[in-house]
């Protein structure tokens, strides 16, 4: 109450917004204005109050914020797989790298690529190719931990950032993922489609200014080695 009176003296008005629940159970926003009436000695002798229903204004503002957040989220997502896109990955990965540097935990980067994806498109068509991409993305998404980061990097190539893990444990985790994918079947009409994927792993040195770019280059070399050694493999370059 003292703060209310003080503000009326200083500003000549006191404004407050609050919510109420009506008898029908609906939420209503109210804006109250309190105007002081002063005497000749500049003391407040009366207060005039005005109440205004601002529910529609608040709801409109909340809807604008909601749509803005939705648009920003869509801009960070790959349209086909609903994973993060390349731009979002770099934005989020840079933040993870800064936290890793401050708190002293490891980050491991994984490049993943569907083997002979062009053959899938050529033999079954791009619609089936899209199904394979969606299936692969879903497996990646459900296989990583909550604090890990997975994104579609471009085409049939995907990228994973594993938090607080060493290279050996990362290899074992990705090897299990590789096995899961190789055992996956996608049913299309009367036909079952199987596919495999190759993976390249590298450690992220968050103390280096270009740590992510370097880790991606190294993981990409490891991925290339996996392809050269017969595909459906996991390779590490430390």
User: Active-site positions?
Assistant: 156
Of all helices (H) and strands (E), which one includes residue 163? strand 157-163
Tokens for 144, please give them: 């990583």
Q: Which SS3 state, helix, strand or coil, does residue 200 take?
A: strand
Answer whether 161's CB lies under 8 Å from 148's CB: yes
Task: Give the C-alpha separation, 233 to 141, whole Å.
Answer: 19
Q: Which SS3 state, helix, strand or coil, does residue 208 take?
A: coil
Task: Give the C-alpha separation, 110 to 79, whole Å.
Answer: 22
27-38 as b/e: b if 16+ CB within 10 A:
eebebeebebee
């Amino acid at each position: 109450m003292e703060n209310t009176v003080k503000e009326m003296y200083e500003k000549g008005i006191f404004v407050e917004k609050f919510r109420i629940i009506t008898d029908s159970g609906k939420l209503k926003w109210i804006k109250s204005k309190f105007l002081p009436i002063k005497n000749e000695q500049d003391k407040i002798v009366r207060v005039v109050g005005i109440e205004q229903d601002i529910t529609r204004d608040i709801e409109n503002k909340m809807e604008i914020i909601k749509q803005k957040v939705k648009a920003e989220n869509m801009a960070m997502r790959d349209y086909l797989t609903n994973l993060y896109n390349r731009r979002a990955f770099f934005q989020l990965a840079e933040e993870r790298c800064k936290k890793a540097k401050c708190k002293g935990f490891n980050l491991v980067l994984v490049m993943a690529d569907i083997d002979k994806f062009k053959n899938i498109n050529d033999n079954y068509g791009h619609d089936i190719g899209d199904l394979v991409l969606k299936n692969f993305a879903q497996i990646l998404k459900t296989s990583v931990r909550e604090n890990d980061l997975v994104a579609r990097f471009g085409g049939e190539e995907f990228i994973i950032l594993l938090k607080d893990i060493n290279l050996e444990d990362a290899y074992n985790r990705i090897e299990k993922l590789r096995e899961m994918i190789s055992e996956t079947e996608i049913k299309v009409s009367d036909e079952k489609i199987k596919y495999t994927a190759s993976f390249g792993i590298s450690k992220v040195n968050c103390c280096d200014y270009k740590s992510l770019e370097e880790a991606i280059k190294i993981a990409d070399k490891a991925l290339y080695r996996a392809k050269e050694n017969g595909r459906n493999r996991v390779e590490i370059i430390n």
